[in-house]
Structure 1
């Protein structure tokens, strides 16, 4: 029995000695062991730059497409509001009155039942430019022209306009 206890005590010492934490000698250059190297930082920055360079243009294209879609939907909604205006007044607003006629009563109209828009101001396109409105239309088969000048805000031949169908 003593022999067994002696063996157990030896094995306990062996286990506890092997589980002890080993302490290494302090490094002569403690700052070299801390942090990242300049090469590692440059590699990470280069990878992030490449990812941003690839993702950013795709995200901007999506944003541009979304604004175009919003402009088309807004033009359709404003067209419905102009139809309500015509039901009340009897005709669409003139080019001189413009879309401001949906907010404030034009001087020469009767049966104006507005304001027809909630904001109290003429609607703006997704690029915060005023919509282009002409009555009578310059296109055949349309009563009026309602367009967005697009991101440039210019009303010329080179501008990418979005108009009512």
Structure 2
């Protein structure tokens, strides 16, 4: 009887170079997803700021309907949260928004101007955007 010598089957393993290439591809995929998510997050913050400004505008309209005038510059948007004590003191006041509605997605208070720079004869409600600097391209307002 002849003995057939079989060589043991060698299991093929990944080389270090192949592992490094796979890890590099995974890192590139994760990096590109992170960049895309970051862009979506910025856009979401901008949309959120716009929605909050519309909410504040609705509350300011309700305030004006009840009191015949919008809050003064001195009273500010806080007049929608707490009853103003500065003249003209509203006769028919109720809380129209919660305090967190006065804060933009970047943690800063919305600005209020009465009279407005952009809305002549009206008022401006605005966020200075992510950079927090007025009169830059990322400002969001009711104009």
Normalised to the residue count of structure 2, the TM-score between the two structures is 0.79
2:95 corresponds in structure 1 to 115
1:124 maps onto 2:111 in alignment: no
Report the Cα distance in structure 2 between the residues aligned to 1:35 and 1:100, rounded to whole angstroms: 68
Report the Cα distance in structure 1 between the residues aligned to 2:137 and 2:12, rounded to whole angstroms: 57
Report the Cα distance in structure 2 between the residues aligned to 1:153 and 1:110, rounded to whole angstroms: 32
Point out the structure with max Rg over C-alpha. Answer: 1
Once the two structures are TM-superposed, the CA of residue 148 in structure 1 deviates from its matched residue by 0.9
Once the two structures are TM-superposed, the CA of residue 141 in structure 1 deviates from its matched residue by 3.8
SS where residue 20 of structure 2 aligns?
helix
Gap regions ≥5 residues in structure 2: 1-6
2:129 corresponds in structure 1 to 150
Once the two structures are TM-superposed, the CA of residue 100 in structure 1 deviates from its matched residue by 0.8
1:139 maps onto 2:134 in alignment: no
1:164 maps onto 2:142 in alignment: yes
Q: Is the 8 A contact 2:103 2:110 kept in 1?
A: yes
Q: Is the 8 A contact 1:145 1:163 kept in 2?
A: yes
2:56 corresponds in structure 1 to 78
Report the Cα distance in structure 2 between the residues aligned to 1:125 and 1:77, rounded to whole angstroms: 12
Once the two structures are TM-superposed, the CA of residue 39 in structure 1 deviates from its matched residue by 2.4
Normalised to the residue count of structure 1, the TM-score between the two structures is 0.70
SS where residue 81 of structure 1 aligns?
helix
1:66 maps onto 2:44 in alignment: yes
Report the Cα distance in structure 1 between the residues aligned to 2:34 and 2:82, rounded to whole angstroms: 42
| Number of residue equivalences | 135
* Distance verdict in 2 for CA 1:34–1:94, change over 3 Å: farther
Report the Cα distance in structure 2 between the residues aligned to 1:140 and 1:129, rounded to whole angstroms: 22
